[in-house]
Chains A and B, each alone.
Chain A
Amino acid sequence: MSKRTVEVELSTTGLDAQGRPQRIPILTDDGGGGLALQAPPGIEPDLEGEHMLINIGPQHPATHGVLRLVLELDGETVVRCIPHIGYLHCGFEKIGEYRQYNQIICWTDREDYLNSIGNNVAFALGAERLFGIEITERCTVLRVIASELSRIMSHLVWLGTFCIDIGAFTPFLWAFQRREEIYRLIEKWVGARLTTTATRVGGMAADIPSGWMDGLRQFIRTFPHTLDEIDRVLTKNAIWVGRTVGLGVMTPEEAINWGLSGPMLRASGVDYDVRKDFPYLDYETYDFEVPVGTNGDVYDRYLVRFEEMRQSVRILQQAADRLPEGPVNIDDPRIILPPKSKATSEMESMIHHFKVVMEGPRPPIGESYVAVESPKGEKGYYMVSDGTAKPVRWRIRPPSFVNLSAIPKMVEGHLLSDVIAINASIDIVMGEIDR
């Protein structure tokens, strides 16, 4: 048993007999975790009771969708956890085999629906490698802005719902208020809030409207204040620390072997970030840092995601400063639709329009796997083409699916109430897990 004391600033007055602020010692051990409470003297704990079968979900607010967990309990301690998924299975990968590449982009919105614009970018990057396309400079920077905005959005939803699960309501409201501002920006850009379908193979659906950058700059300026506020309320809060430290610990070796990625892996102390290790969209030219935790528990995952939002703001600032002028889409009428005005007035543009819409662009025979750092982890799109306009196979590498598969390992030995905190710390989106 290791002893680790976290200094906490109690938001309510907690003074000991000498009038000093209280320190709460947190005893953690590898299996049990959390606050080790001692039974009052004289009362023998009754541990001989029989095991209990508990079902959580699929319709339960704390399961973040339609996840179902069957738990075997010994008293309040989880002995075994059997997860069931698939309640939201729609067969995206099957449908993708019957759609042209540009038509698949709107399916990517609906899969990880908190990060829809980031999925659009990831799919477009994968398809562009399959087509052998080099996108324009302006498009690259716009996609970085889109990805980082959606990372902040996704982390804000995670933060808000995580707070609710643990019992803090106020940060949820602050987070969702700021998230609304991003949605307003996205809506001005592409016309939709959740189902963005913002990219096309070879470019974007639209360039940003005039004055949009001012809105983005204002967001970049004001957003860190919200983060500071939430930081002040949560990070050293005694209840928060007590509910999160020492839970669901994954060692670095375990985390790699279980295939965790994203903040889950980095909280365990492994510095793997796709943006740094396998860069795309010129991420190597941006100055940002990758936060890496040390203990791999729920508290470290919170810290890592929190810091990632600050780093995303840094990237947004740099991207806003360097956004070049120029075309957004590549200049290739076989792949990109002509402007609407030309399609209705020029014969050649109309033919191109017809060919692109009806037949669809055709990539050469080949395959590509492009992974991006989504808010949940390594998200990859694997596409196989046989030279026709529709992919033979479209595979989503779902980060939350793989992260969730470690939940039996993480919750076993913890209390039932900690299952909710651990589950919330994985940041799952059932749309992506079930696809």
Chain B
Amino acid sequence: MSRFEVVRTGANASGGEPATQRNIPHRGAEANPSASALQTRFSSAIKRVEVIWGETVVFVEPALAHEIIRWLHDEQSQQYDFLSDVTAVEYRDAEVPIEVVWHLRSLPYRRFLRIKAQLPKGKPLEIDSVYDIYRTADWLERECYDMFGIQFRGHPDLRRILMWESYKEGFPLRKDFPLRGRFSRSEQLRQALAQNPEARYSMEELSIADAFAELPQDMRERLSKGERTGE
């Protein structure tokens, strides 16, 4: 009937059939076994482990986050090969640090783990990129930078992704960013109208096929003086 050699995703390394979780307690459910493995391996770098609604959260030292995720990815007994998400959380309380969150999945062991690193306010928001481990991190880290202003060290192309390159209002998902934007509507409109409609290509793109040389004279002059292009 089916033209596929159908592979059931039933059996796996951890054994046992998965089932829909029911009656999950708020706190105190059984932790993911990887959490204790991490505590054994990286004792002091693991600040604390919480289990909230059945999901294990591991708080790690920001400086060692990259090394820990690298270990989770490479270690044969863990094999967290799938990066679901990279994001950040800022709390309404200004004292609470910003958290960078990685959602990791181990497809062979069918495990899910949340890694968090807390970046205190008042210091530059910087953390190592996991781009060299997961290529998924490329756009996800760019989005996180775009929305929160977190610098991912080692990301090869960290620039805005959803907002445009010359966006000046800051980082939209930060709590000090008002819902309607930082600038007034008239200022936003003025800036939009003042944008050079020709400046739709980044400098990298303008290097293709002598596109730069074909721009109008005045635009070439402005761009060569360091004006940023629109994207």
Chain B binds chain A: yes
Residues of A within 8 A of B (CB): 50-53, 55, 70, 72, 80, 82, 84-86, 89, 91, 93-95, 98, 129-130, 132, 134, 256-259, 270-273, 276-284, 289-293, 303-304, 307, 310, 364, 366-369, 371, 378, 380, 382, 384, 386, 392-393, 395, 397, 401-402, 404-406, 434-435
* A393 contacts B179, C-beta separation under 8 Å: no
Check A272/B107 contact, CB under 8 A, given A129-B53, A130-B53, A259-B135. yes
* B6 contacts A290, C-beta separation under 8 Å: yes
* Residue from A98, A134, A380 in contact with B22 in the complex, judged by beta carbons closer than 8 Å: A134
* A292 contacts B7, C-beta separation under 8 Å: yes
**9 CB-based A-B contacts, threshold 8 Å:** A50-B209, A50-B210, A132-B26, A259-B134, A293-B4, A366-B52, A369-B55, A392-B91, A402-B139
**Smallest CB separation, A91 vs chain B (Å):** 6
* Residue from B5, B110, B231 in contact with A277 in the complex, judged by beta carbons closer than 8 Å: B110
**Smallest CB separation, A11 vs chain B (Å):** 19
- Say yes or no: is B71 at the interface (Cβ < 8 Å to chain A): no
* Residue from A50, A80, A368, A382 in contact with B87 in the complex, judged by beta carbons closer than 8 Å: A382
Check A366/B53 contact, CB under 8 A, given A257-B134, A272-B107, A276-B8. yes
**Smallest CB separation, A275 vs chain B (Å):** 9
* Most chain B beta carbons < 10 A, residue from A256, A280, A304, A401: A256
* Residue from B8, B134, B143 in contact with A289 in the complex, judged by beta carbons closer than 8 Å: B8
* A132 contacts B4, C-beta separation under 8 Å: no
Check A256/B107 contact, CB under 8 A, given A50-B209, A366-B52. yes
* B26 contacts A364, C-beta separation under 8 Å: yes
**Smallest CB separation, B106 vs chain A (Å):** 10
Q: Give the chain B neighbours of A384 by CB distance below 8 A.
A: 89
* Residue from A85, A380, A402 in contact with B161 in the complex, judged by beta carbons closer than 8 Å: A85
Q: Which residues of B (194-231) have their CB < 8 Å from a CB of A?
A: 200-202, 204-205, 208-211, 231
Give B27-50 as 1s and 0s: 1 = Cβ < 8 Å from A's Cβ atoms. Answer: 100000000000000000000000
Q: Which 4 A-B pairs have the closest CB atoms?
A: A259-B136, A276-B9, A405-B139, A86-B162
* Residue from B92, B143, B200 in contact with A386 in the complex, judged by beta carbons closer than 8 Å: B92
**Smallest CB separation, A270 vs chain B (Å):** 7
Residue of A nearest to B138 (CB): A405
Q: Is the interface of A mostly helix, strand, loop or mixed?
A: mixed
**Smallest CB separation, B204 vs chain A (Å):** 7
Q: Give the chain A neighbours of B92 by CB distance below 8 A.
A: 386, 392
Q: Give the chain B neighbours of A72 by CB distance below 8 A.
A: 208-209
- Say yes or no: is B172 at the interface (Cβ < 8 Å to chain A): yes
Q: Give the chain B neighbours of A392 by CB distance below 8 A.
A: 89-92
Give B84-121 as 1s and 0s: 1 = Cβ < 8 Å from A's Cβ atoms. Answer: 11010111110000000101000100101010000000
* Most chain A beta carbons < 10 A, residue from B57, B138, B160: B138
Check A91/B85 contact, CB under 8 A, given A72-B208, A368-B55. no
* B9 contacts A271, C-beta separation under 8 Å: yes
Check A53/B139 contact, CB under 8 A, given A132-B24, A270-B107, A382-B85. no
**Smallest CB separation, B19 vs chain A (Å):** 5
* A259 contacts B7, C-beta separation under 8 Å: no
Bound CA span A86–B231, Å: 10
Bound CA span A282–B134, Å: 31
Q: Give the chain B neighbours of A368 by CB distance below 8 A.
A: 52-53, 55
* A284 contacts B18, C-beta separation under 8 Å: yes
Q: Give the chain B neighbours of A401 by CB distance below 8 A.
A: 139, 143
* B134 contacts A53, C-beta separation under 8 Å: no
Check A279/B8 contact, CB under 8 A, given A86-B162, A289-B2. no
Residue of A nearest to B167 (CB): A86
- Say yes or no: is B187 at the interface (Cβ < 8 Å to chain A): no
* A397 contacts B4, C-beta separation under 8 Å: no
Bound CA span A80–B24, Å: 48
Q: Give the chain A neighbours of B3 by CB distance below 8 A.
A: 303, 307
Q: Give the chain B neighbours of A435 by CB distance below 8 A.
A: 162
* A134 contacts B18, C-beta separation under 8 Å: no
Bound CA span A279–B3, Å: 25
**Smallest CB separation, A242 vs chain B (Å):** 19
Q: Give the chain A neighbours of B2 by CB distance below 8 A.
A: 289, 291, 307, 310
Q: Give the chain A neighbours of B200 by CB distance below 8 A.
A: 55
- Say yes or no: is B164 at the interface (Cβ < 8 Å to chain A): yes
Residue of A nearest to B147 (CB): A93
Q: Give the chain A neighbours of B107 by CB distance below 8 A.
A: 256, 270, 272, 277
Q: Give the chain B neighbours of A50 by CB distance below 8 A.
A: 209-210
Check A53/B205 contact, CB under 8 A, given A257-B136, A307-B2, A371-B84. yes
Check A53/B89 contact, CB under 8 A, given A271-B7, A369-B103. no
* Residue from B18, B53, B87 in contact with A276 in the complex, judged by beta carbons closer than 8 Å: B18
Q: Which residues of B (53-87) have their CB < 8 Å from a CB of A?
A: 53-55, 57, 81-85, 87
Q: Give the chain B neighbours of A393 by CB distance below 8 A.
A: 87, 89-90
Contacts A51-B209, A397-B84 known; 12 new A-B pairs at CB < 8 A: A82-B205, A86-B162, A134-B23, A256-B81, A257-B135, A259-B135, A303-B4, A307-B3, A307-B4, A368-B53, A392-B90, A395-B87
Q: Give the chain B neighbours of A53 by CB distance below 8 A.
A: 201, 205, 208-209, 211
* A91 contacts B139, C-beta separation under 8 Å: no
Residue of B nearest to A73 (CB): B209
Q: Give the chain B neighbours of A369 by CB distance below 8 A.
A: 55, 84-85, 103, 112, 114
* A272 contacts B19, C-beta separation under 8 Å: no
Q: Give the chain B neighbours of A134 by CB distance below 8 A.
A: 22-23
